[in-house]
A and B are shown apart, each in its own frame.
Chain A
Amino acid sequence: MSPRHHLDEATVLSFAAGALSPEMAAVAATHMEICELCRDHLSDAERVGGALLGQQQPVAADTARGARLREAMLDLLDEEIEACPVEAYGPSTDALTADCLPRPLHPYFGRSWRALRWRWMAPGVHMIRAARGSGDTLILLKIAPGKSMPMHSHQGTELTQILQGAYNDALGHYAPGDVADLGNEIEHQPITAPGVPCVCVAALDAPLRFPGWLARKLQPLVGL
């Protein structure tokens, strides 16, 4: 699977800096698990972080305190160190089955597709909203095939990764693995592709804005 729609480099940079909300980071990580290009960008952005760390110019601080910390470190080196267990990178060996959700989503939605408890939102639209959260919203959406979503724009950022199925909008065709990294200048009307339902995970940092009568009806239902 080689995605054709990628994360904005500004998003990757903020991910590397630890500056994304956990919800945005969960979607970005879901994309990066399967996208080599964005992982390369992440690697570059972390190297920038390393260079910035090296460029820090600490002022000569409390030298007595610094000396105590240094002594403490020397003591720690003497202790017999148990080798830390290191988690190997790569496809997870446990339960990488068809039923397994992407790992970055486990803290929010559990591990199993089958165990998901979808809530009906509107005809052809089901949703699960992650319970935990920092203020941003993280949702799983399942939209029936061949369905047109209301035209909407965003006050902030919407980060959406396609997990199954596909949709089309003015920006292109979004298939599994593709991410839509949209700012507030974008107004779009996704239409799901025929065949299977389109399942995606989306992080939002501000409520969606739906223009039009349908959307005004839908908005309170969806509760976004």
Chain B
Amino acid sequence: MSSSDPQVRGADYWSAQMAAVALRRDRDCFMRIYDHFAPRVRLYLKGLGSPEAVAEELAQEALLRLWQRAGLYDATCSNLSTWLFRIARNLHIDRVRREPRWVPMDDEPGWLDKDDGSGFSSAESHADQVDLQHRIERLPAVQARLIRMSYFEAKSHQEIADELGMPLGTVKSSLRRAFQRLQLGVRGQA
């Protein structure tokens, strides 16, 4: 695959596109982001149980929100796909499940870094992102399945346990181990 293949464009590429949107309302850059991410957001929302039409509507809204809030984007402290994930998840909780939601799940980019001077920064390099992708791909099969059921089907621990005929404690410990494995990548501690 060549580096111009959108499939292998990394976090830094999308950050640069988004920075151009933030800086000069660049429509071409925005539509590149749209073309790449809109089908992915639609697929994600359909997986959570939305009918096609609802998934389309919410995906449009999620992408439009990037355009509207572009000024908030800071490429040094937030990954574009993480921001978009947060927006799409929150839209699903607000509109489809109609549940109360709180500021701790805000959909601003990089919101977690604003409230203290702890020195923790979520800044992530392209290398970190690639490393995380690899770690996800290398998860043992059971852990990968539980991760997918959590993120893409929004299943609770108990629902996963029931569906797979697995003890609840095993579901929790497997998810914990999966998270710890991935976290090494996120934190760049490996």
Contact = CB atoms under 8 A, between A and B. Distances in A.
Interface of A: 8-10, 12-22, 24-26, 29, 32-33, 36, 39-56, 58, 61, 65-66, 69-70, 72-74, 76-77, 81, 83-84, 86-87, 89-90, 92, 103-104, 107-108, 134, 156-157, 183-185, 205-206
User: Which among A51, A70, A72, A73 has the highest number of chain B CB atoms within 10 Å?
Assistant: A51
Contacts of B136: 48, 51-52, 55
Contacts of B183: 9, 41, 44
A77 B70 CA distance: 12
A31 B47 CA distance: 29
A12 B178 CA distance: 12
B44 A10 contact: no
B103 A183 contact: no
A27 B145 CA distance: 26
A44 B79 CA distance: 12
B27 to A, nearest CB: 6
Interface residues of B, number: 83
A90 B114 CA distance: 8
A55 B133 contact: yes
B60 A49 contact: no
A54 B63 CA distance: 14
Given A8-B172, A10-B172, A58-B40, A205 B82 contact: no
B104 interface: yes
A86 B72 contact: yes
A43 B122 CA distance: 8
Nearest to A185: B169
User: Which among A29, A52, A74, A103 has the highest number of chain B CB atoms within 10 Å?
Assistant: A52
Interface in B17-43: 27, 30-31, 34-35, 37-43
The 9 A-B pairs at the shortest CB distance, nearest first, are namely: A50-B82, A58-B39, A107-B100, A50-B81, A10-B175, A49-B85, A56-B40, A54-B81, A50-B85
B54 interface: no
Contacts of B129: 51
A134 B99 contact: yes
Contacts of A89: 103, 106, 108, 111, 114-115
A183 B168 contact: yes
